[in-house]
Amino acid sequence: MPDSFAHPHEPHTESFAARLNWLRAGVLGANDGIVSTAGLVVGVAATTTNSQTILAAGLAGLVAGAISMAAGEYVSVSTQRDSERALLAKERRELADKPDYELAELAGIYEKKGLSPATARTVAEELTAHDAFTAHAEAELGLDPRELTNPWAAAVSSAVAFTCGALLPLLAIVLPPAEWRVPVTVVAVLLALALTGSVSARLGGSGRGRAVLRVVLGGALAMAITYGIGSLAEALGL
């Protein structure tokens, strides 16, 4: 299609979808950082008013959480990338061993999409002549060989997102006076969760109200439970 017919504000490319998924993952990572760190520092604040103790616990939770998120994302995406590479290697071998069969298979894919047999065959032949490997990878596997998932990028982005989210409750708990620490943290965290819930809903194209309610209630429940545990520990002298 000529460029004059393109819609510049409607990016329908695979790379755009990938970027959208990374953005959504970043929002969810920040949400995890907010909730886990808020629960930790609120629980500790229920047992002590010592700022250094609360800050140390919060920093330890932030670092541990960021490393855990990065490691988990790296392992997960590395496994996915290994699977993608294995599938692509298999496809490359099949193209080398059975080119005629692969051409017929590609034509069959486009025929199932609604093209006539003759048109499907023509499309398959032209795509094969241009770049057979990419054509088969995209049509059969839904993969772009030039844009495989990157485990290092996933690990770094996950750690950064978690850290950014965790900094909010950490600052909210240590900056105010002792008597205002927990209320300020609760309000700040719930507002931040409402924002992340709204953003994630918008990215996913779902209703905002339900998404916001879920994350806000989840965060409130986490803080209530950890604060209760901390208060109980303080009462028992643990």
pLDDT in tens, 92-115: 898 888 888 888 888 888 888 888
65's tokens? 């959480």
**Candidate from 3-12, 59-68, 104-113, 174-183 with smallest mean pLDDT:** 3-12
- In 3-state terms the chain splits into helix, strand, coil percentages (rounded to 5) of 85, 0, 15
Q: Are the C-beta atoms of residues 169 and 41 closer than 8 Å to each other?
A: yes
Q: Report CA Rg, the chain.
A: 25
Name the DSSP letter for residue 139. Answer: I
Model pLDDT, residue 169: 94
- Kindly tell me if the per-residue pLDDT of 55 is higher than 80: yes
- Kindly tell me if the per-residue pLDDT of 158 is higher than 80: yes
52: confidence class by pLDDT, cuts 50, 70, 90: very high
- Note the Cα 103 to chain centre separation in Å: 36
221's tokens? 């429940």
The CA distance from 169 to 185, in Å, is: 6
Domain ranges of the chain: 16-235
18: confidence class by pLDDT, cuts 50, 70, 90: low
pLDDT digits (tens, 9 = 90+) for 147-157: 777 888 888 88
- Kindly tell me if the per-residue pLDDT of 42 is higher than 90: yes
Model pLDDT, residue 173: 93
Hunting for tokens 């929002």 — which residue is that? 27
19: confidence class by pLDDT, cuts 50, 70, 90: low
The CA distance from 133 to 44, in Å, is: 57
Model pLDDT, residue 15: 53
- Kindly tell me if the per-residue pLDDT of 17 is higher than 90: no
Q: Are the C-beta atoms of residues 67 and 163 closer than 8 Å to each other?
A: no
Query: Average pLDDT for residues 2-16, to the nearest whole number?
Result: 45
